[in-house]
Structure 1
Amino acid sequence: MQHLIILPILLPLLSGLLMLVRRDSVVLPRRAIALASTLLLFIVSALLVHQSASGQITYYALGDWQPPFGIILVLDRLSALMVCLTSFLALGSVAYACAGDDRKGSNFHGLFQLQLMGINGAFLTGDIFNLFVFFEVLLIASYSLLMHGGGKDRTQAGFHYVALNLAGSSMFLIALGVLYGTTGTLNMADMAQKVAALDPERLGLLKAGAFLLLVVFGLKAAILPLYFWLPRAYASAPAPVAALFAIMTKVGVYAILRVYTLIFGGSAGELANFVQPWLWWFALATLALGGVGVLSARDLRGQVAYLILISVGTLLVGVSMNREAPIGALLYYMIHTTLVSGGLFLLADAIGEQRGKAGARIVPGRGVTQPALLGLLYFLGAVTVIGLPPLSGAIGKALLLDAALPSEQPWLWSLLLLSSLAGLIAMSRSGSTVFWKAGKRDSDGPRLKTTMLIGLILLLGASPLLSILAGPITAFTDASAAQLLNHDAYLEAILPPPVDGGES
């Protein structure tokens, strides 16, 4: 069990390199390797969740170089939860891709695994420089995956996506230089300890670096006004890639949550919780603009992209509250929205394939080949993503609304409910246009393949399961929130007297 923490990075790295090296191999072995690797990754991540449930924070020191000098991977409830969520989302996405999307370009499965490596590394690292490194790994893989299969729209969207993220990477490096210059460390736990005792003359420079870091993470999370790249990029990406991209904005949310509760949290002296008021208003604005966007979308994929923006605003509202109850609620909501949004990207692609020239555009056209099956899946996805009872979307939003203080309720209740109403109107209009106003269906059109159906059921079917298991899941997310806000426990676990074995 000692080396279990590093497996979510090693597994996709090795399988991805294997598939990239053997470029002349036939498709079927690559699919088998990808499915086996992703399934094994999910099993490992489930074991990590079980291991973290005890409440103990453990770390893995690479090369046995102890913190704060060496590279470490940290396992707590939050990081285990995010790795498990990523692996389950990836399993549904890979299953769907094996129906034929992986044949539309080269090296799909190898790049997909390398992106998984970057995402898992970002969730597990305890070093802020290696957070940058894993950001770059996942971004480099995503550049190629976004343009998988080619096409004018994907190339244009990919160019904008690459340009913005290169600018973000440059700002990330500058921010790291400022933080290292003022604190003398890049280990998150060590930095948190030093920020609290920092010379007042350096606080201004440190605050500037922290704000610059917030801009970088805000770009990854797609918070207003840094979200303009997301709708077109996500709508243009191949369906399995867009489904995996549903976790990409959550990487930015996770980074904000981790850095600004640990390093700049309640124990940071004069800089304690200084970004929360800024986050509150930007999150509410993102929530409002996401609702406007989902009403204006003219394509099913674009509609799902704006639904993701609504979820980003909702999540960051919870982060800005900076208390145990709203953070526990946002973690439950994060599981729900990531899986359902990924499933809706896959469903939009399946509908588009069966409608012929009309594709995924929200216009009357040829009907789908399997109206009963796709209609049922669409209804399930729409009900849960909007937040109607009794599915997981309603539970997550109700928990977040209940956690708001009286001073926060007028803004949160009005904007969250209005964005839900916007989603209800948009999804109702899309469903009636695609399924009720359709012309005569063509029975010879492409039907769902088995692996496509497996991917859809895994992701969209997660919502009823989240509702049934809401009790134990919310107990885990609440415990994760409590552990995240326990600043001293994290420092004691990461910065103890050196011990043999590389793990505490």
Structure 2
Amino acid sequence: MMQHWITLPVIWPLLTGVLLIFMARASRDAKRIVSVTSAVLAVPMMWVLLQQAATGDYQVYAVGNWVPPFGIVLVLDRLAAMMLMMTAVLAMLALLYGIRGDDKPGRNFHPLFHFQLMGIQGAFLTGDIFNLFVFFEILLISSYGLLMHGAGPARTRATLHYVILNLTGSALFLIGVGTLYGVLGTLNMADMVLAMRDVPAADLPLARAGGLILLIVFGLKAAMLPLYFWLPNAYSSASPSVASLFAIMTKVGVYSILRVHGLLFGDGAGAVAGSIDAWLWPIAALTMVFGAIGVIGARTLKRVVSYLVIVSVGTLLIVVASNHEPTLIGGLFYLIHSTFITAALFLLADIIAGQRGAVLDDLSPAPVVAQPRLLGVIFFFSAASVAGLPPLSGFIGKALILQGSAGQSFAPLMWLILLAAGLVALISLSRAGSTIFWRVTEQPNSGRKADKMKLLVAGVLLMISPALSIFGEPVIQYVSATAAQVMDVDSYVRAVLGSTQRGGF
């Protein structure tokens, strides 16, 4: 039984989504019970996988018992298990928030939510680049419906732009996959590593072109410059629980760049080694810079948080581009921190907007919120964590990145951009907080106190930041082992292919 456990991240949300479709005419309460129960049970399931991966052994599952590199293969390592655990926790909390009203406008919210989870979690597990495309399409189609859920002009416009860009990205994905298949003759990522080392000189330009096309596709999903313009409108227009779940969506793009390009264009990739880094470095740096500019110019709290997501993406892409294990340790810790803190901020922005009357989350004077002390303390706490102030997890993540980059040629630029982005975030959130809580009008407040469940969920998400600080040592140990495993490409190849490796490995 345990050997099939690795399939649960894909099978469990699929079965839940199908069941919820058949329950289309059931009561909303019945759907909520099924949906939340599934999300809650998924957390211990992912915990089991995390414990399996923590041993350092790869878990490889050949669907239909087709021996790799043929057929569909799922691969569980430390990185995949970490991402699955993060997704399960975030999904459970976002769904608990969503059942307090976000799911009311339509009857398909819950099946779409679980199909989205299926696509996200499948992308983290797959060891085949074509099936990565398949899982991308599943999560994207679901995200179209979730983004549009509740309708309205703002969501319609944001969804239209989002759909057009991602359909273009899907077409480019197929072109990139087809190009690499034409050169390498395989789509199993472990087998592609070996094939890449033996690419004839005449085919090297095609191999690099295929890699750059995939970089564009993954960059679109990750929201890197200049492909991030869809994100602020989409995330700020989405319902808060959906925006909170979407905090993991950009990380799917970053994960794909780390996984695919780390395998195919890493240090052991022969003549094409490092050919992507030259493009990724300046793009990542500019993503951070323009994300920070967006934070300064944002006029609503939700757009501020949306641009903070872009800043976090730029930070992670710089780490990936560094191709340096000590820096990657800090980057993985920062990935955990940034995902949960931005998800919490989307929920907090919704709670604040609900207490400011018609002004909502606009950064302009409004009547005092119904719970000024409580929300003020929570906002201050979250702003400090995002900006990277000690002793919270944002500070630890950035400190690990800076410490890991010490002595490297890229360190001065990384330090400058990372510290400047933190300063900009601190200034912008200070401005937002002072506007919301201090620049108040004399008009009576028409907003209600926040729903207790919503406050609880947002609070739990925010408490992950100090938890990462308090229990920082085991987390750092895990991400350190994860970084070492990610950088050891040959161990991945041996685990997946075993005795079916190409000659000469």
Letter in 2 for 1:345: F
The answer (yes or no) to whether the contact 2:367–2:445 under 8 Å persists in 1 is: no
Return the match for 1:427 from 426, 429, 432.
429
- Map 1:402-481 → 2, pairs under 5 A: 402-404=403-405, 405-439=407-441, 445-481=447-483
Tell me the equivalent position of 1:238.
Answer: 239
Tell me the equivalent position of 1:401.
Answer: 402
Q: Matched residues in 1 for 2:442 and 2:26: separation?
A: 42
Deviations 1:182-228 (A, max 9, x none): 11110000011111012222111111111111111111111111111
SS at match of 2:3: coil
* Alpha-carbon distance, 1:440 to partner: 5.1
The answer (yes or no) to whether the contact 2:266–2:274 under 8 Å persists in 1 is: yes
Which structure is richer in relative contact order (CA contacts within 8 A, separation 6 or more)? Answer: 1
Tell me the equivalent position of 1:361.
Answer: 362
* Alpha-carbon distance, 1:406 to partner: 4.3
Q: Matched residues in 2 for 1:148 and 1:442: separation?
A: 32
For normalisation by structure 2, the TM-score amounts to 0.97
Q: Matched residues in 1 for 2:398 and 2:171: separation?
A: 36
SS at match of 1:259: helix
Letter in 1 for 2:49: L
Provide the alpha-carbon RMSD of the alignment: 1.2
In the alignment, structure 2 segments of 5+ residues that lack a partner are 501-505
* Alpha-carbon distance, 1:379 to partner: 1.2
* Alpha-carbon distance, 1:447 to partner: 2.2
Deviations 1:431-466 (A, max 9, x none): 111111123585763222232123202211110101
Q: Matched residues in 1 for 2:440 and 2:88: separation?
A: 36
The answer (yes or no) to whether the contact 1:260–1:273 under 8 Å persists in 2 is: no
Q: Matched residues in 2 for 1:13 and 1:159: separation?
A: 26
Q: Matched residues in 2 for 1:205 and 1:410: separation?
A: 34
Q: Matched residues in 1 for 2:109 and 2:311: separation?
A: 29
Letter in 2 for 1:459: L
The answer (yes or no) to whether the contact 1:328–1:474 under 8 Å persists in 2 is: yes
Question: Which has the higher mean CA deviation after the structures are superposed, 158-167 or 483-492?
Answer: 483-492
Q: Matched residues in 2 for 1:67 and 1:462: separation?
A: 39
- Map 1:69-148 → 2, pairs under 5 A: 69-148=70-149
Aligned pairs, number: 498
For normalisation by structure 1, the TM-score amounts to 0.97
The answer (yes or no) to whether the contact 2:356–2:445 under 8 Å persists in 1 is: no
SS at match of 1:177: helix
Tell me the equivalent position of 1:190.
Answer: 191
Tell me the equivalent position of 2:494.
Answer: 492
In the alignment, structure 1 segments of 5+ residues that lack a partner are 499-504
Tell me the equivalent position of 2:287.
Answer: 286
The answer (yes or no) to whether the contact 1:5–1:73 under 8 Å persists in 2 is: yes
Tell me the equivalent position of 2:18.
Answer: 17
Tell me the equivalent position of 1:268.
Answer: 269
Letter in 1 for 2:489: H
Letter in 2 for 1:147: M
The answer (yes or no) to whether the contact 1:153–1:236 under 8 Å persists in 2 is: yes
Deviations 1:400-441 (A, max 9, x none): 111113422221111111111111111001111111112358
SS at match of 1:103: coil
Return the match for 1:483 from 479, 485, 490.
485
Letter in 1 for 2:431: R
Q: Matched residues in 2 for 1:69 and 1:403: separation?
A: 39
Tell me the equivalent position of 1:312.
Answer: 313
Question: Which has the higher mean CA deviation after the structures are superposed, 401-410 or 384-393?
Answer: 401-410
Q: Matched residues in 2 for 1:19 and 1:449: separation?
A: 26
Q: Matched residues in 2 for 1:489 and 1:2: separation?
A: 20
* Alpha-carbon distance, 1:277 to partner: 2.1
The answer (yes or no) to whether the contact 2:354–2:450 under 8 Å persists in 1 is: no
